[in-house]
Amino acid sequence: MAHKIKTIAVMTGGGDCPGLNAVIRAVTKTAINKYGIKVWGIEDGFLGIIENRLRPLSYKDVSHILEVGGTILGSNNTTNPTKYPVKNKIGEVVFKDMSKECYRTLRQKKIDALICIGGDGTMTSAAKLAGKELAIIGVPKTIDNDLWGTDFTFGFNTAVATATDAIDKLRTTASAHHRIMVVEVMGRYAGWIALYAGIAGGSDVILIPEIPYKLDKVCDFIKQRNKWGKTYTIITVAEGAKEVGGEMVVRRTVAYSPEAIRLGGIADKLAGQIEMTLGLEARSVTLGYVQRGGRPTAHDRVLATSFGHAALELVMSGQKNRLVVLKNNKISSVPLSQVAGKVRNVPVDSSLILAAREVNTCFGD
C-alpha cells in the first residue's frame, strides 16, 4: 500500500491549542524525509476544503514551528462539511451536504489521504466524511482532554500548566484581602482541566460537571475553613459544572456551528451566590482563551510529535478512518467511527478525586 500513497493533506479543525504546529511539523517532515511524498496544508479546517484553499507544505515551511502556539494553517470551529449553511434562491438559510465538493477539491490535488487534527467535533465530521474514496487519519487535539479513546490529548498539559500558574498568582491576592476566589476554567462537559489544575494549584474546592454540587455544602465548607483560621478560599470550577438539579450556565449560542452552545459564567454566578449566602467577599476570574494560547509544554511537544509521526505511518501502512491514541502510555489507534459523538468524562471513582478528597478538598457533594 505504501507505494500507492503519493500525496497527503493535513488540516487543523476546531479550537486552537498548543502543539498543533508540532503535529504539522512531524507529519510533513516524516512524509518528505522518509517517503518523499507531497504534502498539502489545508487552511482553516474543513472550510478550507470547501473553499479550495490549500497550499503545498515544504520542509522550510514547517521548520522552527515546534515551540510555536496556534497553527500555521489556521483553524475553524463552525464548519460541518456534511451540514453547511447556504442561502437558497429566496435568501433563506438551508443546510447542504458538501461531501462531494470536498472530495472534488481533494481529487483535484490528487490527495490520497487526509490527516485531520482536532477534537470531538472535528472527528465526528471526519467520520461522516470518511469513505472508500479517501483515507482519513485523526489526531486527537483538545485542551479539554475529553476525546474518547485516548488517555490524553496534546494541548491539555499546557492548558493545565497555564491554569495552575493563574491559581498560584490568585492565591496571593486572595490571602492578602481574605477573599474567596472563584476561578473558572474551560473543559466544556468534562472536568479534566479543573481537576488537574485544581489539585496542582492546591484549590480548596474543585467543582466539575461529573459531580453536581450543592451550594450549601460549598458554603458550609468555607465556614468551616474560617473556624480553622483559614481566611481565604480558592475555588476552581469547570465551565460545565452545575448545581444538583440545576443547569449548566450558557454564555451564548453560535448559529450553524456544529457545537452551538458556548458555556461560561458559572464563576460569576457562584461568587454572587456565596457572597449573598455568607456575607463574605467573593471574586470571580474567568481564564478563558488564555488557556488555549502560548508555547506548548515539553510534554505536549513530545506527545504531538509522536501523534503526528504515528498518523503518517498509519497512512503509509494502508490504514484508513482511524484515530491515533495514547493508551496505557503506548501509541495505538482506534476506528474513527467509535469516537464520533462521544465525550470522555472524569470517572467519579477516579484515584485523583479520591486523593483530592483525602487531603480535604471539597467537591460540593
Note the pLDDT tens digit of each residue in 241-290. Answer: 999 999 988 888 777 666 777 888 999 999 999 999 999 999 999 999 99
Task: Name the nearest CA neighbour of 101 among 52, 40, 148.
Answer: 52
Which pLDDT does position 112 carry in this prediction?
Answer: 92
Which residue is listed with cell 465525550?
A: 343
Note the pLDDT tens digit of each residue in 277-305. Answer: 999 999 999 999 999 999 999 999 999 99
Distance CA 346, CA 312 (A): 30
Helix (H, G, I), strand (E, B) or coil at 114: strand
Q: What phi and psi, each to the nearest 5 degrees, are found at residue 338?
A: -75, -20
Q: What phi and psi, each to the nearest 5 degrees, are found at residue 134?
A: -145, 135
User: Does 146 participate in catalysis according to the annotation?
Assistant: no
Distance CA 205, CA 271 (A): 13
Note the pLDDT tens digit of each residue in 210-227. Answer: 999 999 999 999 999 999
Note the pLDDT tens digit of each residue in 58-70. Answer: 999 999 999 999 9
Distance CA 345, CA 164 (A): 20
Which pLDDT does position 80 carry in this prediction?
Answer: 87
Which pLDDT does position 266 carry in this prediction?
Answer: 96
Q: What is the DSSP string of 282-331?
A: EEEEE-GGGGT-SPPPHHHHHHHHHHHHHHHHHHHTT--SEEEEEETTEE
Cβ–Cβ contacts within 10 Å for residue 61, how many? 16
Distance CA 134, CA 112 (A): 6
Q: Which residue has the higher pLDDT, 163 or 86?
A: 163
Is the model's pLDDT at 3 over the cut of 60?
no
Across the chain, the runs of DSSP E, i.e. the strands, are 7-12, 38-42, 54-56, 84-87, 93-96, 113-118, 135-140, 180-185, 205-207, 233-238, 250-253, 261-263, 282-286, 322-327, 330-335
Beta partners for 238? 185
Task: Name the nearest CA neighbour of 304 among 14, 19, 3.
Answer: 19
Which residue in the list 44, 120, 144, 300 is annotated as catalytic? 144
DSSP 83: S
235 pLDDT band, cuts 50/70/90, is: very high
**E strand or H helix at 177:** helix 156-177
Distance CA 102, CA 47 (A): 9
Is the model's pLDDT at 178 over the cut of 60?
yes
Cβ–Cβ contacts within 10 Å for residue 285, how many? 18
Residues written for the chain: 365
Q: Which domains does the chain have, with CATH numbers?
A: 2-154+296-339 (3.40.50.450), 160-292 (3.40.50.460)
Which pLDDT does position 136 carry in this prediction?
Answer: 93
Q: What phi and psi, each to the nearest 5 degrees, are found at residue 56?
A: -70, 145
Mean pLDDT, rounded, for 50-75: 95
